[in-house]
Chains A and B, each alone.
Chain A
Amino acid sequence: MSLIQVNEVTHSYGSRSFFNWKDRSKKVLSDISFSIEEGACLGLLGSSGAGKSTLGKLILGLERPQNGQILFQGHDIYTADKHTRQKIRRDIQAVFQDSYSSVNPRITAERIIAEPLENYEKLTAAEQKRTIVELLERVGLSEGDLKKYPHQFSGGQLQRINIARAISIKPKFIVLDESVSSLDMVNQKLILELLNELKEDFGLSYLFITHDIKAAYTISDSLGVLEKGELVELYDSKNQFFTSEHPIVKEMRGSILAEHPRFRSIRTRVSRVSHT
């Protein structure tokens, strides 16, 4: 049994208003099906507006799909009984793209990470604090950061706090919605490494939603390509992405910025300067 199974999910956003009952809804996802095994990471690639984030929201239970079902360990996350739903909600956590808007600007790092703990684990104040310090250290921050407010952190540090919050209640599955896209290159690499480590340590599974092919390739086991609400390609092995002949995939591949020529030209320029 897969950890997450998405069955023929279709979703659209309507624009029904009080004075205008005519249905002018726009389809954003049609017939999406895939599954994620325990301990695996599926990278979902797609350009802006392809419906990637909507899919993430549906899996997180923030919006209900119009058709199709999403199963978590065999339970439909929308129709399961209340007890199971609560358990599922606990097991699926998320890290979003914009680290700044993912945290309430008026509360400290300690309270940010404490939120899921308060809701799911009934810990004493001392235990909770110890857990939070452990989590902070696990994601590469320190105890001194407990009382800091979000504006005192950099984007990369805040993303670490978001990750700490997501792993605080030991979920099984994390939706990473463009989680590294707003970070600079160095931080991207560091966060990806951290995510990889956590995956091993906690036995996590990821859905890695991104438009960054390189980031997806680094972290994923399998890859999917989403285009205009349709899952056009799904590969069991990420290397198939590079041999696929699908026109959209070819176009995506063509858009990967080549690193070497540029580096080479800089290097030659530097060497020319040093020679003269």
Chain B
Amino acid sequence: MIMSIPKIFRSQKVIPICSIILCILFIIAIFAPWIAPHDPIAVNLAYKLQPPSWAYPLGTDHLGRCNLSRILYGTRLSLGFAMLIFISSILIGLLVGTFSGYKGGIVDHVLMRFCDGVMAFPSLILILGLVGIFGPGLTQVIIALMLVQWVYYARMFRGMVLSLKEQNFIAAAKISGSSQWKIIKNHIVPNVLPPLVVMGTLEMGWAIMDISAMSFLGLGVQPPTPEWGAMIHEGKSYIRTNPELMLYPGLIIMLVIVTFNLLGEALSEQYGVKRRF
């Protein structure tokens, strides 16, 4: 019997289904050079705008490049840099937030007011500013996103540390003679990690969307590098004759982000973690 779609989303199957999809995507990202049938940047004007065929399963674009290969290689870029943003912002956030919350007092005040300042600054303006200074490029976008994202993690970790600090086991550890770093390492960090998984999945979705959006605007990834947002950007001139040039990357972006968000939702429900957005 076929389950209705809302029922699938409510059932316990969301987590395994999303995990499998993401695993496949990660495998594609790692093995893209072996899976892709063609070189994603090889221009062949004789074969431009081909319909799907055995040689080109998703057809070719306006420069005769294989659409499927470009999408497969694009996975690499999107997932890879989303991971980079996620891991670096989590690490900075964990460090700053834990330290700030644990130390308290004036250190906490200074760090948190700095975070408030960064939060009040729109990330889009920061990206546009960096692009304006250094020219368009993925590095600028990634640095800008990292600079903005870690603040939210720092806030979250600080809050968790503050509530942990009131727990008696921290006092007990102090009385047991443990040093500050030992307490942070053994008692605080292990207790703030579980919500991280939930935040992480949601964050990945956001990061992928941001990278794609910036590339679509022509500020991020530059041609001819295959990237989903950039592919939509290049395909938009052919929307009347060949809408599939925008459709394929659009669909894959949607698939990835929906998967990450559904997984994040399901995990947060499972572990009872509150979302920050």
Contacts and interface: CB of A to CB of B under 8 A. Distances in A.
A55 B186 CA distance: 28
Contacts of B169: 101-104
Given A18-B109, A104-B186, A119-B178, A96 B173 contact: no
B177 A98 contact: no
A162 interface: yes
Chain B interface helix/strand/loop/mixed: helix
Interface string A78-95: 000000001001101110
Nearest to A97: B168
Contacts of A120: 177
Nearest to A116: B176
Given A92-B175, A104-B173, A107-B190, 20 more contacts: A18-B113, A62-B175, A90-B177, A94-B172, A96-B168, A97-B168, A101-B169, A102-B168, A102-B169, A102-B172, A104-B190, A105-B191, A106-B190, A107-B186, A115-B173, A115-B178, A116-B176, A116-B177, A119-B178, A120-B177
15 contacts: A60-B175, A61-B175, A62-B175, A93-B176, A101-B167, A104-B186, A104-B187, A104-B190, A106-B190, A107-B186, A107-B190, A115-B173, A115-B176, A116-B177, A165-B176
Contacts of A97: 168
A84 to B, nearest CB: 14
A171 B119 CA distance: 49
Interface in A50-90: 57, 60-62, 86, 89-90
Contacts of A101: 167-169
A104 to B, nearest CB: 5
A165 B171 contact: no
B174 interface: yes
Interface string B170-197: 0111111110000000110011000000
Nearest to A19: B109
A34 to B, nearest CB: 21
A17 B106 CA distance: 9
Interface residues of B, number: 18
Of A104, A116, A120, most B-chain CB atoms within 10 Å: A104
**Shortest 5 CB-CB distances between A and B: which pairs?**
A119-B177, A116-B176, A102-B168, A18-B109, A96-B168
Nearest to B190: A106
Nearest to A117: B176
Interface of A: 17-18, 57, 60-62, 86, 89-90, 92-94, 96-98, 101-107, 115-116, 119-120, 162, 165
B196 to A, nearest CB: 14
Contacts, number: 58
Interface string B148-171: 000000000000000000011101
Contacts of A102: 168-169, 172
Nearest to B193: A106
A105 B113 CA distance: 32
A174 to B, nearest CB: 10
A98 B113 CA distance: 34
Interface string B80-95: 0000000000000000
A254 B177 CA distance: 42
Contacts of A60: 171, 175
Nearest to B194: A106
Contacts of A96: 168, 171-172
Contacts of A93: 175-176
Contacts of A57: 171
A74 B176 CA distance: 22
Contact of B191 (A18, A106, A165): A106
Contacts of A106: 190-191
Contacts of A61: 175
B174 A62 contact: yes
Of A102, A103, A106, A115, most B-chain CB atoms within 10 Å: A115
B191 A98 contact: no
B177 A89 contact: yes
